[in-house]
Structure 1
Amino acid sequence: MKIGYIRVSTQEQNTLRQEILMDQLGVDQVYIDKASGKNTSRPELQNLLEFVRKGDTVIVESISRFARNTRDLLNLVEQLTAKGVEFVSQKEAIDTTTPTGKFMLTIFGAVAELERTYLLQRQREGIAAAKVQGKYAGRKPVAHPDFERIVRQWQAGQCTAAEAWKKLGMSKATFYRHVAHKRPVRP
Structure 2
Amino acid sequence: MKIGYCRVSSQDQREDRQIEALKQQGVEKFFTEKISGQYMDRPKLKEMMNFVREGDKVYIESISRLARNTLDFLNIVKELSAKQVEVVSLKESIDTSTPQGKFMLTVFGALYELERDSIKQRQLEGIQVAKAKGTQFGRPKIEINEQFVQEYKMWKKELQTATSAIKKLGLSRSTFYRKVKEYEKSIS
Q: Does 1:14 align with 2:14?
A: yes
1:140 CA displacement: 6.8
- Partner of 1:88: helix, strand, or coil? strand
* TM-score normalised by length of structure 2: 0.73
RMSD between superposed Cα atoms in Å: 2.5
Determine the structure 2 residue equivalent to 1:160. none
Instruction: Give the alignment partner of residue 147 of structure 1, picking from 164, 174, 187.
Output: 174
Residues 1:59 and 2:59 are matched in the alignment? yes
The match for 1:133 is 133
Q: Write the letter of the residue equivalent to 2:81.
A: T
Q: Taking structure 1 as reference, are residues 128 and 148 closer, same or farther at Cα in structure 2, changes over 3 Å only?
A: closer
List alignment gaps of at least 5 residues for structure 2. 142-169
Aligned to 2:109: 109
Give the structure-1-normalised TM-score.
0.74
Q: 1:145 to 1:76 in 2, by over 3 A?
A: same
Instruction: Tell me the residue number matched to 2:145.
Output: none
Number of residue pairs aligned between Structure 1 and Structure 2: 155
Identity within the alignment, % = 52
| Structure-2 change in CA distance of 1:148 and 1:121 (3 Å) | closer
Q: Deviations over 1:7-34 (max 9, x none)?
A: 1111111211112112222211111121
Distance in 2 (alpha carbons) for counterparts of 1:23 and 1:72: 26
Q: Which amino acid in structure 1 is aligned with residue 173 of structure 2?
A: D
Distance 2:136 2:15 in 1: 31
Distance 1:99 1:22 in 2: 23
Asked whether the equivalents of residues 70 and 113 of structure 1 are also in contact (C-alpha less than 8 Å), the reply is: yes
| Distance in structure 1 (CA, Å) of the matches to 2:171 and 2:54 | 53
Paired residues for 1:36-185 under 5 Å:
36-138=36-138, 145-147=172-174
Query: Which of 1 and 2 has greater Rg?
Result: 2
2:27 maps to which residue? 27
What code does the residue aligned with 2:34 have? K
Q: CA 1:75 to 1:125, structure 2 compared with 1: closer, same or farther past 3 Å?
A: same
Amino acid at match of 2:11: Q
Q: What code does the residue aligned with 1:146 have?
A: R
Query: 1:55·1:84 contact (CA, 8 Å) conserved in 2?
Result: yes
Q: How far apart are residue 137 of structure 1 and its match?
A: 1.3
Inter-partner Cα distance in structure 2 for 1:17 and 1:121: 29
What is the match of residue 167 of structure 2? none
Shift of 1:6: 0.8
